[in-house]
Chain A
């Protein structure tokens, strides 16, 4: 990474009474990155973002935005960030341009630059023709884009966007993604959160998977995927009675590459599906299938459960569950 990170946290902790919302988080986001925070609701994403946006004081640990400690100089930090909360309202009784003008004044943007800047921002978020309409009359997607525009009035280095895509229809999501790409092109660093990993997968340069206030995995999506793909989940559909199925399960259990055999549910078409966690390459999977057939098991289906991003997410959070349970 070149230069000072735009976001840096060290051992960030936020406690609400007994509840640990953020439990020692280290983050490092470099200039120009789009960094995703992914985690289920209540994982601590919003709390972390509020700390960075100087709206909450951490219980312990340090947080820096462009090298400035957020607790020491909140006003200066605020000049460098644009913050979009997960839940927010807009001033209904203002026109779109008045709304942006208001926030531009809040950030001390000089009058001679406000008018042109508002035009540019409306163009970026695609609301140019809504300029004189009341915010009240706008759809949720448009409000979301307007709120995004408001984070940009002071040309901040860092955007903190908390669940910007939540509640949007697929089309609006695509539009939002396009806007974020454009902003990245403008050199903004973006910290974005979502409880849905695929939403971020395509555009993020890095993600941190967060659950219960901890970073479980961080890195690029590819890195996280690779670290997990080592074990694939095989789905094997078998014909035969219970004894035959049990025999197959036992047979699978003897293979050293198989960690766990689960299931035994009957399909509608009479086959029984068992699932096995398999540690090996696709080649090894083919060998396993051949060996299984040769051993006399009546296999009618053999597939690897496609590990999409959502599943990665479930796996990561699930694994930790097991670790903490053990």
Chain B
């Protein structure tokens, strides 16, 4: 068996998955080789952790004296219970701010890593070499996304020890940290996929980067503003603000908003969480007592109901985990769709059908590999 035989041998169906996997790994190894080399990655990671550590310290310095005051330490009351509450308040504050800042940082960093992945290859004219290899375009795209996310995941995971400080103070549990991590990872995934999609769609990295950040703004500030605007307009009647149950924009508008997901996580920490954020989140989905204060009574027990007539549970627990699983799931689905779209865009135009079609050789029969080698050897002699 010559070297050529192995190269020419068609891969069996069974090994197709393995081949796909090794292609993804190939791209990842190459990307990480050039990405992690030198000082850049090291500096980015250090700065990122330093910022988070600084925030943690800052929150502690600001909150600690106030917390003791509020929970009674300063008024001489409290005792043990007061100490514990003060500690929990510090922990919750740190967790909240750390989570939000981490989300903001990830929102800015994740797209930056992927928005050039394909377009840079186009600009540097390396894409043709890459796509003329027998790797499947989907493997190339997924490998690139995975390589970019690998570093972002490293950043997210490297920050866990800082976040874990809150476990010392209380106020947030391991479950909360797990939820926070899931939201961060889902956000990184979807933003990475958005960057990659634009990178495959557009020729220039600059354009791809700009569009990615515009999309990010649209998903966060844009959806929030649209929600408010929509709600205001919906509540306007011919006579100005009308009577009757308040209307609101569809909650699905918020399903792509990473900020809402993170607020959901931080507002549901034990014990209690931040009631303010919580009732705002509840308002978003209309599951909050409105001004009418309608109640539904069964016998002696009366429960508040929302305008749809559904009972409202205790506000703090009612929304626990309502938003973040929905938003994270949406992110995963959207990321998958965008990756698929990016794959189609990488395939040369006009060749797209060829990657779908079952292999059905037409025309002259292929020559066996051995024949080529023999013939060419003959012509040498």
Q: How far is the CA of A170 from the CA of B371 in the complex (A)?
A: 37
Q: How far is the CA of A93 from the CA of B38 in the complex (A)?
A: 10
How many B residues touch the partner, as a band? 35 or more
- Is A79 in the interface zone, CB < 8 Å from B? yes
- Is A57 in the interface zone, CB < 8 Å from B? yes
Q: How far is the CA of A106 from the CA of B379 in the complex (A)?
A: 30
**Given known contacts A85-B129, A91-B30, A105-B29, is B364 in contact with A155 (CB within 8 Å)?**
no
Q: Shortest Cβ distance from B353 into chain A, in angstroms?
A: 8
Q: Shortest Cβ distance from B330 into chain A, in angstroms?
A: 34
- Is A185 in the interface zone, CB < 8 Å from B? yes
Contact B351 A75 (CB under 8 A): no
- Is B13 in the interface zone, CB < 8 Å from A? no
B323-348 interface code vs A (CB 8 A; 1 in, 0 out): 00000000000000000000000001
Count residues on chain A whose CB falls below 8 Å from chain B CBs: 57
Determine chain A's interface SS by DSSP, over half rule: loop
**Given known contacts A75-B136, A189-B376, is B130 in contact with A69 (CB within 8 Å)?**
no
Contact B348 A155 (CB under 8 A): no
**Given known contacts A90-B126, A107-B133, is B354 in contact with A67 (CB within 8 Å)?**
no
Contact A72 B126 (CB under 8 A): no
- Is B375 in the interface zone, CB < 8 Å from A? yes
Contact A94 B364 (CB under 8 A): no
- Is A64 in the interface zone, CB < 8 Å from B? yes
Residues of B near A107 (CB, < 8 A) are: 7, 133-134
Q: How far is the CA of A2 from the CA of B372 in the complex (A)?
A: 10
Contact B351 A106 (CB under 8 A): no
Contact B380 A185 (CB under 8 A): yes
Q: How far is the CA of A71 from the CA of B126 in the complex (A)?
A: 22
A56-82 interface code vs B (CB 8 A; 1 in, 0 out): 110000101011110111111011110
**Given known contacts A106-B23, A155-B7, is B132 in contact with A78 (CB within 8 Å)?**
yes
**Given known contacts A91-B34, A103-B133, is B379 in contact with A69 (CB within 8 Å)?**
no
Task: Across the interface, name the chain B residue whose C-beta is closest to A84.
Answer: B129
Residues of B near A32 (CB, < 8 A) are: 375-376, 378-380
Task: Across the interface, name the chain A residue whose C-beta is closest to B136.
Answer: A75
Contact A3 B34 (CB under 8 A): no
Contact A187 B351 (CB under 8 A): no
- Is B247 in the interface zone, CB < 8 Å from A? no
Contact A72 B361 (CB under 8 A): yes
Residues of B near A110 (CB, < 8 A) are: 6
Q: Shortest Cβ distance from A39 into chain B, in angstroms?
A: 20
Q: Shortest Cβ distance from A152 into chain B, in angstroms?
A: 11
**Given known contacts A88-B126, A187-B379, is B357 in contact with A56 (CB within 8 Å)?**
no
Contact B376 A78 (CB under 8 A): no
Q: Shortest Cβ distance from B153 into chain A, in angstroms?
A: 22
Task: Across the interface, name the chain A residue whose C-beta is closest to B360.
Answer: A72
Contact A105 B376 (CB under 8 A): no
B4-40 interface code vs A (CB 8 A; 1 in, 0 out): 1011101100000001001101100110011001000
Contact A57 B4 (CB under 8 A): no
Contact B380 A69 (CB under 8 A): no
Contact A67 B23 (CB under 8 A): no
Q: Shortest Cβ distance from B3 into chain A, in angstroms?
A: 5
Contact B128 A78 (CB under 8 A): no
Q: How far is the CA of A155 from the CA of B377 in the complex (A)?
A: 14
Contact A4 B364 (CB under 8 A): yes
Q: How far is the CA of A307 from the CA of B25 in the complex (A)?
A: 55
- Is B240 in the interface zone, CB < 8 Å from A? no
- Is B244 in the interface zone, CB < 8 Å from A? no
Question: Which of B124, B132, B359 has the most chain A CB atoms closer than 10 A to its own CB?
Answer: B132
Contact B7 A57 (CB under 8 A): no
Contact B132 A53 (CB under 8 A): yes
Q: Which residue of B7, B30, B129, B359 is within 8 Å of A88 (Cβ)?
A: B129
- Is A98 in the interface zone, CB < 8 Å from B? yes
Task: Across the interface, name the chain A residue whose C-beta is closest to B122.
Answer: A89
Contact B125 A76 (CB under 8 A): no
Contact B125 A85 (CB under 8 A): yes
Closest 8 CB pairs of A and B: A57-B350, A187-B376, A32-B379, A89-B124, A105-B26, A106-B133, A93-B34, A89-B125
Known contacts A73-B361, A88-B129, A89-B125; 4 additional CB pairs below 8 A are A3-B367, A3-B371, A54-B351, A67-B365
